[in-house]
Structure 1
Amino acid sequence: MGYYHFFVLGSLGLLTFIVVIWAVNLKKTIGIMRGMIISMFYGMNVGLTAGVLLGVTYQGDLFLSTIFSITIGVLAGSLCGLCFGMLSVLEGFMAGLMGGMMGAMVGEMIRVDQSISLIQIFLLLSFSTLFVIPILKTPKGSKVKSKKWILKPLTLATFTFLTVMGSNSIAERFEGQKELPSKTIESAHNKGQTIVLETADMKYSRNKIIVEKDKLVTLTLKNLDNIEHDIEIRTSSFNMITQSKHNHGESKGLIHLHALPENTETLSFTITEAGIYEFYCTIPGHKEVGMIGQFIVS
């Protein structure tokens, strides 16, 4: 996991701490029924946020992402409900469980770039709990004595929006800068781009590769393990320049490069359409343990 993941999970942890402290101080004012609403609302949104994040991170292992997502959602909902009584705990528990499960399934089925928008939406909904609590604690039939009250929710809304949207963007850029030296390609603007992808201990040496459209790409798969590995990129928008004897995917609308144990294979090609493509090892069981990444064509 990168800085973006830690930012989202850290934000949920900090938000849970704030919500629980606030709920403890207001439990006598809010009451059981309103406490159940808060617990359900918060547990569901936290579960969905964590579910989409972990589902897309651990694509190929739905069981693992579901367990982690359910755990986070259940903890958030239950801790919030604990302040209001057992009924609120049960409400938060089930809402967190449901949100974590649904979020993990969504994350499993979408691309990484699509998941970022969903995570931002669900994270914003989680932060909106800070608005729900003061609304529910307001006594029924109370009158507004001054219009200055609107400054508080507006200030809180602005701060929340900037924190969620702005910090996400900063985290993504920072993550990209940290990954660029070690996990992306080596560029040579005049002679094309050379990518050396190593496999060791059932892992690729990088999980994000960035190339330019219509530019020559030389891909080298260096297998350091004592078992065979390969890389497959599913796209029909490419022109093969030179290929290895182990490349057998051109006729199937994909780029495929296979390397025997402790061997190196190379092929050259150009991709003619920009987009984000998935690459992974097709050997049974290898994709499931994490041999997967993104091939980004700009």
Structure 2
Amino acid sequence: MSTVFQVLAFVGMSYGWFTWFVWKRKKHMDHMLGMISGMAMGMMIGLITGLLFGAVYQGDLYTSTIWGMILAGSLGFLFGVPLSILCTIEGTLSGIMAGMMGAMLGEMVPADKVKPLLFLFLLFYTAILLLLTKLIVSRGGQDAETKKWVFSIHNPILPAALLVGVFFWYQSIPFAFHIIEKGETTLEVVKLVAVDFSYKPSEIYIKKGTPTKVTFKNEGNVEHDFELVSDEDILIQTTSSTNHQHGKTAAKKVHLHAKPGETATVVLKATAAGTYQFYCTIPGHKESGMVGRITFL
């Protein structure tokens, strides 16, 4: 699964659980606690989704801002509707504002800094949910159901385990989206690195119709290559790697080869949207995990 999908799935599931938890206990919550919860949810979800969309649609701040505002603002609105008008307003406005800020961060932050910043947002988001849950439980009375919940939520092992779980889950993601930076010319530049035996990133997003320079660098200990089956929708404009084709490269394939420490480049342009797989054609490398995808938006 892609980085974007996994992060959005985590945010969606945690949002759904916390919303259900709050709605079930709304009779025990005062307006202030509801407003704080709505504002926190809208703000953190806006920052996370805005940063994601800002990175994916880097260079198109309008699109990333609109998506961040709509998603976070809608979730903030939905969270607050059953609680109160004030909570609804707080959640909606916080989501809209944070979606804008997150999109601007995604646009401005260098591609290699997106991963650590997103990790901080996700960890902070999880910690806030745990703190709000404990606060709501402490004000929710002492019926039998609440006692069971208090027994678990007040156990210090639970929040620590959840935070550690988020850490290891995030580190396991093959951080693989959108590494597109402005080059010195009018071209977009995609940086792809090969190691033994994987690509970084393994998933790339490029805007269709934009001339894009793919820079393929081999940081592994053995030779690697990059082959993209392009059909007729991807036009190859220039390439620096034409003498190592394994006897099967045709006009419809983008192929780059690099020995350890070497770099190869190709300038291409997609005429239509679509998703294409790329892989290393050297025997055994694809089977060892050297595969990825390029999506033209």
- Separation of aligned partners in 1, 2:237 and 2:262: 23
Q: Which residue of 2 aligns with 1:258?
A: none
SS in 1 for 2:58: coil
Q: Would you tell me which structure has more helix in proportion to its own residues?
A: 1
Task: Give the alignment partner of residue 168 of structure 1, picking from 167, 170, 173.
Answer: 170
Does the 8 Å CA contact 2:65/2:100 hold for their aligned counterparts?
Answer: yes
Q: Which region of structure 1 is more displaced relative to structure 2, 122-131 or 3-12?
A: 122-131
Q: Which amino acid letter does the alignment assign opposite residue 131 of structure 2?
A: F
Q: Which residue of 2 aligns with 1:28?
A: 27
The number of aligned residues is: 233
Q: Which residue of 2 aligns with 1:252?
A: none
SS in 2 for 1:172: coil
- Separation of aligned partners in 2, 1:280 and 1:32: 58
Does the 8 Å CA contact 1:66/1:104 hold for their aligned counterparts?
Answer: yes
Change (3 A) 1:269 1:138: closer
- Separation of aligned partners in 2, 1:208 and 1:83: 51
Q: With the length of structure 2 as denominator, give the TM-score of the two structures.
A: 0.60
Change (3 A) 1:136 1:219: closer
Does the 8 Å CA contact 1:74/1:95 hold for their aligned counterparts?
Answer: yes
SS in 1 for 2:83: coil
Q: Which amino acid letter does the alignment assign opposite residue 56 of structure 1?
A: A
Q: Which amino acid letter does the alignment assign opposite residue 132 of structure 2?
A: V
CA RMSD of aligned residues (A): 4.7
User: Could you list the runs of 5+ residues in structure 2 that have no partner in the other structure?
Assistant: 141-149, 178-191, 197-205, 243-250, 276-297
CA distances 1:81-137 after superposition (whole Å, capped 9, x unpaired): 223211101100000001111101111122333111111111122222232232255
Q: Which residue of 2 aligns with 1:42?
A: 41
Query: Displacement of 1:46 after TM fit?
Result: 0.6
Q: Which residue of 2 aligns with 1:113?
A: 112
Q: Which residue of 2 aligns with 1:104?
A: 103
Does the 8 Å CA contact 2:72/2:95 hold for their aligned counterparts?
Answer: yes
Query: Displacement of 1:7 after TM fit?
Result: 1.2
CA distances 1:219-249 after superposition (whole Å, capped 9, x unpaired): 99998658965479xxxxxxxxx799xxxxx
Change (3 A) 1:208 1:56: farther
Q: What are the within-5 Å matches in structure 2 for residues 1-298 of structure 1?
A: 2-127=1-126, 128-136=128-136, 138-139=138-139, 152=154, 154-172=156-174, 202=209, 209-212=216-219, 225=232, 230=237
Query: Displacement of 1:267 after TM fit?
Result: 9.2
Change (3 A) 1:224 1:137: closer
CA distances 1:7-50 after superposition (whole Å, capped 9, x unpaired): 11001110111111111122121211210011001110011011
- Separation of aligned partners in 2, 1:29 and 1:265: 62
Q: Which amino acid letter does the alignment assign opposite residue 58 of structure 2?
A: Q
- Separation of aligned partners in 2, 1:167 and 1:75: 27
- Separation of aligned partners in 1, 2:36 and 2:212: 46
Change (3 A) 1:29 1:208: farther
Q: Which amino acid letter does the alignment assign opposite residue 167 of structure 1?
A: W
Does the 8 Å CA contact 1:221/1:230 hold for their aligned counterparts?
Answer: no
Change (3 A) 1:266 1:120: closer
Change (3 A) 1:161 1:264: closer
Change (3 A) 1:41 1:87: same
Change (3 A) 1:227 1:267: closer
User: Could you list the runs of 5+ residues in structure 1 that have no partner in the other structure?
Assistant: 141-147, 177-182, 188-198, 233-241, 245-261, 291-298
Q: Percent identity?
A: 24
- Separation of aligned partners in 2, 1:9 and 1:226: 30
